[in-house]
Structure 1
Amino acid sequence: MAVTLAEEIMLLSLDDASGAAKERQSAAWAVAGGILLDLVLAGRVAVDGGRVRVTDPNPTGVPLLDERLRLVTAWAAGRKQAPKVTQWLTKDHTKAVRATVDSLRGRGLVHAEQRKVLGLFPITRYPEADGSAERELRDRLRAVVLGGAEPDARTAGLLALVHGAKLHRLAFPDVPRKQVAPRLERITEGHWVTEDVRKAIRDMQAAMAAVTVATMVAATS
């Protein structure tokens, strides 16, 4: 079973050795967005005009995606107007992260470690257990962004999420943002995805930008 977009973003966020999540809040929005975009690519969900609509409630066969599909279907049911993407991301991002980490554990890619902060407060971290998926992921991203390789639709979507959530340092920790941002912009607007998916990606980017700004404002107020 292929690693999902949400799992790939989570792998980029989790520190391999300590298991701590880097850029936790922005990565959480991107994880929830990754699940939604995978459902778009699977033909189960449509995102247009900043709103999300379930087009096919049938399972994809991927447990992580199917549980979110079930939840978003129930959440959106009976509404007169399709709900906004920002509403779903705000509602689901924390739970989506937990579900995604559990999925990574189930695949054997990370494992849970119980630790205590200051010797008192218990926390759980998720260090790397099998680095093969992340190595393949980082090699693929570098080949596309730095090497000029042609991305497939899922890689283009992943890079659009990275760009929209401003997670450049997670994906390319040794490369200045200004060096990779123009290429990411071209990929987002490029011909690697169909027009409906391209619109969905733009809407997802706008939604993540909106919720990220709102979170930053709330944190400083």
Structure 2
Amino acid sequence: MKVTIAEELLLLAYSEDEGKQLISATQLDAALGGAILAELAVNERISLSDAKVSVLDPTPLGDEELDAALARIAAENKERKPAWWVQKLYSATLRKRLLTRLAEAGVLAEERGKVLGVFPTTRWPEADGSVEADVRERVAGALGGADPDARTAVLVAVMHASKLDRKAFPGADKERVKEIAEGAWAGDAVATTIAAINSVIMIAATTAAVTATIS
């Protein structure tokens, strides 16, 4: 099964048996927005710089989420920074759409229940572990010293930005993770995406802190 970088991230971000998130919703949702932006860059549909996101080729890639993001960027009449686009693309709704898509493909199972018999909750345990196993093998190879391809470099970088690497690969060498995240395997897409994700996570955390103080 062909999955996007964002979907690969989701598979690593949920525990296999319990189907629960390993990182906060803010970290994960920002990372998903960054993953979509970076995948468009890896596929040479957009260019990323600190100052702006530019469309290089509006041709659809054949993926509903990636193509919708590309069309949205192409339709924007003002130049926007990567962090602006990560903030626009990320949401709990995007996460739910991607999780549902993985469930419909038989990769995850959707299990609904209630906390304390009142509050609805949904778990996403694995139904078919082969897809995540392939992702883990690829990432483990890179973390072990193999040169990563652009997709793997982006995935590692996005995990690092959202601190998922510590949860998904707790035994990984921190210097190797940093080397990949700061490397040139995916050109400017990696560094720019990391900066954008970190910026969005920081904004969200600051907003939440201010809201809590006011209330």
Aligned to 1:140: 138
TM-score, normalised to structure 2, is 0.88
- Aligned-pair distance for 1:50? 4.0
- 1:102 corresponds to: 100
Aligned identity (percent) is 37
Q: Does the Cα contact within 8 Å between 2:153 and 2:185 map onto a contact in 1?
A: yes
Task: Count the aligned residue pairs.
Answer: 208
RMSD between aligned residues: 1.9
Which of 185, 209, 213 aligns to 1:220? It is: 209
Change in Cα spacing, 1:191 to 1:72, as seen in structure 2 (3 Å) is: closer
Query: Any idea what the Cα deviations from partners look like across 1:72-131, whole Å, max 9, x if unmatched?
Result: 333x2x22xx11221222222113312321321232111211111110122222211111
1:10 is displaced (CA, Å) by: 0.5
| Preserved CA contact (<8 Å) 1:64 1:103 | no
The SS at the match of 2:57 is coil
1:15 CA displacement: 1.8
| 2:182 and 2:190 in contact (8 A); partners too | no
Q: What 5-or-longer segments of structure 2 have no aligned partner?
A: 211-215
Matches of 2:61 and 2:7 in 1, distance apart? 16
- Distance (whole Å) between structure 1 residues aligned to residue 168 and residue 18 of structure 2: 18
Equivalent position of 1:72 in the other structure: 73
Say which SS state the counterpart of residue 216 (structure 1) adopts: helix
Once the two structures are TM-superposed, the CA of residue 3 in structure 1 deviates from its matched residue by 1.7
Kindly tell me: are residues 151 and 130 of structure 1, through their superposed partners in 2, closer, same or farther at Cα, counting changes over 3 Å?
same
The aligned residue for residue 176 of structure 2 is 183
The answer as to whether partners of 1:50 and 1:203 remain within 8 angstroms in 2 is no
Corresponding residue for residue 18 of structure 1: 18
Structure 1 runs of 4+ off > 6 angstroms? none
Q: Contact conserved, 1:46 with 1:52, CA < 8 A, in 2? A: yes
- Unaligned 5+ runs, structure 1: none
Question: Secondary structure, in 3 states, of the residue corresponding to 1:20?
Answer: coil
Question: What TM-score, normalized by structure 1, do the two folds share?
Answer: 0.85
